[in-house]
Amino acid sequence: MDKILEGLISSDHSAPVKRAIVKKVVEAAENDVTEEQCRALFTLTTRLILLGDDPFQKQIGLQVLEAYARYHRPEFELFFSKDFVLSLLQQGYGELKHGDPAIVDYIHCCLRLLISCPSVLDTFSVIKVEVLRMVCERPEPALCVRISSLLSDFMQCIPRDKSGILFCQQLVRTISCFQCVASEERELREYVSQVTKVSTLLQNIWKAEPDTLLLSLQEVFAIISSTDPSFDPSIALASLVQHIPVQMITVLIKSLTTDQNVKDATMTKALCRMIDWLSWPLAQHVDTWVIALLRGLAAVQKFTILIDVTLLKIELVFNRLWYPLVRQGALAVLSHMLLSFQHSPEAFHLIVPHVVPLVKSLNSDGLPTSQAFLLQFTELIHCMMYQYSGFPDLYDHILEAIKELPKPSEEKIKLVLNQSAWTSQSNSFASGLLRPAGKSETGKTGLINLGNTCYMNSIIQTLFMATDFRRHVLSLNLNGCNTLMKKLQLLFAFLAHTQRAAYAPRNFLEASRPPWFNVGSQQDCSEYLRFLLERLHEEEKTLHVLQSAKPKVVSLANTISRDPTSPASSKEPQDSDLVEAENQSADDGRTLIERMFGGKLITGIRCMQCNCISEKEEPFTDLSLAFCPSASSQGSPKAERPSEEAKLLCQGSVNGGSEAPESGSASSAAPNIQYEPVMTTEPPLAVPDLVNYFLAPEILDEDNAYFCETCISLQRAERTMKVVSAPKYLILTLLRFSYDAKSHIRKKILDSVIIPPALRLPVYAASTPVHCSSTNSSPLQVDSPESSENLAKKLKSSQEEEEEGKVKMDEAEVSEGSETWVQSVPYMLSSVVVHSGISSESGHYYSYGRNINGADGMQCPGGLPPTSDDSANGQAASSLCTSEQADVSAPSGLEAKDWLLFNDSKVTFTSLQSVQNITNRFPKDTAYVLMYRKQELPGSGRNEGQTANGMRASAEPPLQKELLDAIIEDNKLFLQEQELSARTQALQAASSSCSFRPNGSDDNNPPGSCGPSGGGGGGGGGFNTISRLVF
């Protein structure tokens, strides 16, 4: 077989012929082959992989090797022995040297094939020694990345104990030798990616072996403090900073600044190189460490170092302000250096010539992020000109450039300057990252972004603000369970009661992340919401089944301990408690997800030849609303319309919503992304327009004709969709993308959509019509072409549709000979998830939530009259979804507190007007997921005002003991952290005010940002530098 393969490779046959023969060779791997033949094949394929003349030969070698190694593992185990691995790593292979990345890739591939074999342990031992030797040889980034990838997949190959400490130190030394020679953006991206992968390996080792962290940091300081003129360490060392726990700042800085063995020259060199790290695009917390070190030096009165470093580096720090990706961190360091340098104007005057060009540049780009930054920058400049007055020749042109911007008051300037001096007793300016951050004035808790997890944070906050759902979850008796609902309950409890400003939902992320979501990648929040609701629904259904299979005596025993306040409830860890607790308020057997978010649709098809009707009922948890074609495309690709598949499969957890279209998932990358604002004179769409478009009748004709079982042929038919059961919480997803199959361009629809604070959803309650076929009809045809009459109907405004809809409904009732009553169910806006970015493939999510005190939606909102059952008056309500002009005015000073803005860790007050005008103010920020809460009709609620455990809906349920203990323990830990910070500061000089920020850091900004690259307002897309490497 090896002769055949070798002859094939050297032949002149075309590539398709070679592939066909290779396929036969691979299929023959299942047959019996002698050991000699296997060894010959393994030798040949190894040569092809390592020494192949072209990628085709390497691919063939890898394909055949994997096939025969899989079916003939004992023979491959003998071939890929530890001696063979040792020879590869020490002597190389043929013309390849031992340090060639291809050899490491080959070993990595073979280890995957032998992972379950006992002999692989011996191979691991060999690799442990060899990787340490290779790292000591200072490999290039390409080889170091291959080594890191191998060790990340096979942690058993990482040296341990003393060798592990030495390995970490040498890896730090290796990173310090990574010099960037990139001249193009693509090469720069590759370099940054390589450094990030290697530093991630160190992070994983530090987490697994905490003892290696401190010694590694000592090695970092030894490198950056070196005064050897022949060695200039790489800026890539900045990539390690983000992996150092922020909580260690105080202790490490104190130890460093009080160490008598550290000379002034080495400290100056180290500080200068740390300031250089501000240029590293992906480094987080560099400014935090730089400011902490500056403060530490001031505390021990090493003013000479501070003066030298400030004068040497102040212009470099200022130059970093030109780059949006590192601008915010550079401003924090610049502010501290300038405001603390109060004995002379020398440092400030070094940057004065550069101020006006920067101000003009920030003014001209017009970005909200730049304007927000400009306000901070001009405040700093005003402080410095106040401090060093008497230089009108230097300051006149600056004052002219910033005359339109607000000026801080004299009292504020004095306060800032007094707090910032080196000799000040309260050195607190620009130290926000170092102070323990308390909750915002809203009293709500933020969620820390764990790396592109704003999609999860926005959904969690949206569900948390669904008050009825939150209270039901918190009232469940789940003691001893380890279900996803239990984790959600614990997360809700922390959001409601923790003293921290922001909580890190790491455990919930790991438990709830869909398996196809790549860790650290941007994802679609709508897809995550459907997956989460489906998981919770299926989990509860499974518990229902398990409970029904148990003896009834167990169920009776469980019902005794439903009260979460009873001692017995905390001692009996029964998974069935979820089912039991919910059955108290849901005797129909529906799950909590069905009762909170579940509704029902009926899809009916009427044959226009024989008038026979076929109907099919489908549950849903959300409605995916496409844009009308004229609204989203004028000479541009046609918007994806709500086909049958899109309407039904997107309907959430009950019917397998994971198959829904992925409108914003970063995993479905498009070849081209384009942004073209469309100018139109048509009135803006409103949410009811999109709902009506979703529910509008559709003609099945021509290629999409309907097969009528009565006519036994394809016929022209009309398809209709009706909501027959309204959910308590109505979730609406706006499909904000359009796709052109010809040009393969996927665009985000940036059209502004009017979001009414209240709307009425038509819900049908019809007498059973005469059907010509079964309600469980055959699958419906999808993606029917638009007929002229469909378009004529669907493109009308809401008011025209409402007027014509009343007439047509009356005609339909007469023609069908049966009464169809429509009830207009009122809904109030509860939450809005906003996507910020010009592309559907990337961006940032944040959410708005209605700030509710007391019962969630039990009272009719202002301007929305109480609704009675229209059918009781013998009249049918409108069959169209309509908006309500609710009175959203509030007393003076209260309006801004009606709504909350959740932007990862940051929670602020906002208003309904801000929610409704978000796209007008920031064109790249568009509403994506809306949640409306149903307003109960008078007397319609069977258990109105009651929770699952009999609690009043107007009050939060009491925390169960297990939840209460967890929160008390965490709050004690938080207070201990604050106390430790205070004690550490007391041990330092009185002028030092270093502390640390709990729970890590999340450098998020106002809407439109995610991570350090963002800014205020409507940013969050459109970066054409490596800023988009960070979400």
Catalytic site includes residue 136: no
Residues 1010-1027 as b/e (b if ≥16 CB within 10 A, e otherwise) read bbbbbbbbbbbbebeebb
Residue 542 CB neighbour total at 10 angstroms:
13
Residues 308-318 as b/e (b if ≥16 CB within 10 A, e otherwise) read ebbeebbeebb
Six-digit token string for 564: 């979460």
Quote the CA–CA distance of 82 and 126 in Å, as a whole number.
7
| Cβ–Cβ under 8 Å, residues 337 and 373 | no
Residues 6+ apart with CB under 8 A from 378: 359, 402, 405, 406, 407
| Cβ–Cβ under 8 Å, residues 326 and 285 | no
CA distances from 562 to 565, 577, 892 (A): 9, 7, 45
Quote the CA–CA distance of 924 and 946 in Å, as a whole number.
42
Residues recorded for the chain: 1031
> In sequence order, what E strands does 802-950 have?
820-836, 844-850, 882-884, 899-903, 906-910, 925-934
Residue with tokens 């491959």: 76
| Cβ–Cβ under 8 Å, residues 1000 and 246 | yes
- Long-range contacts of residues 1-9, Cβ cutoff 8 Å, at least 24 apart: 1/25, 1/28, 1/33, 1/37, 1/40, 1/41, 2/37, 2/40, 2/41, 2/43, 2/44, 5/41, 5/44, 5/45, 5/60, 5/64, 6/44, 9/48, 9/57, 9/60
Catalytic residue chosen out of the listed positions 157, 844, 994, 1010: 844
Which of 460, 764, 782 lies closest to 599, judged by CA? 764
Quote the CA–CA distance of 229 and 233 in Å, as a whole number.
11
Helix spans in 598-643 (H): 629-632
- Pairing relation of β-strands 446-447 and 502-503? parallel
Quote the CA–CA distance of 44 and 659 in Å, as a whole number.
44
- Give the distance between the most distant pair of CA atoms in the chain: 97
Residues 6+ apart with CB under 8 A from 453: 505, 509
Quote the CA–CA distance of 683 and 681 in Å, as a whole number.
6
Which of 998, 594, 292, 672 lies closest to 585, judged by CA? 594
Provide the CA 941 distance to its chain's centre, in angstroms.
37
Catalytic residue chosen out of the listed positions 454, 650, 881, 994: 454
- Name the CA radius of gyration of the chain, rounded: 33
> In sequence order, what E strands does 646-712 have?
672-673, 685-686, 698-700, 706-708
Quote the CA–CA distance of 717 and 644 in Å, as a whole number.
14
Q: What is the DSSP string of 430-471?
A: T-TTTSPP---TT---EE---SS-HHHHHHHHHHHH-HHHHH
Quote the CA–CA distance of 530 and 653 in Å, as a whole number.
6
Catalytic site includes residue 454: yes
For residue 336, the 8-state DSSP code is: H
Quote the CA–CA distance of 968 and 115 in Å, as a whole number.
44
For residue 839, the 8-state DSSP code is: S
Task: Please list the active-site residues.
Answer: 454, 844
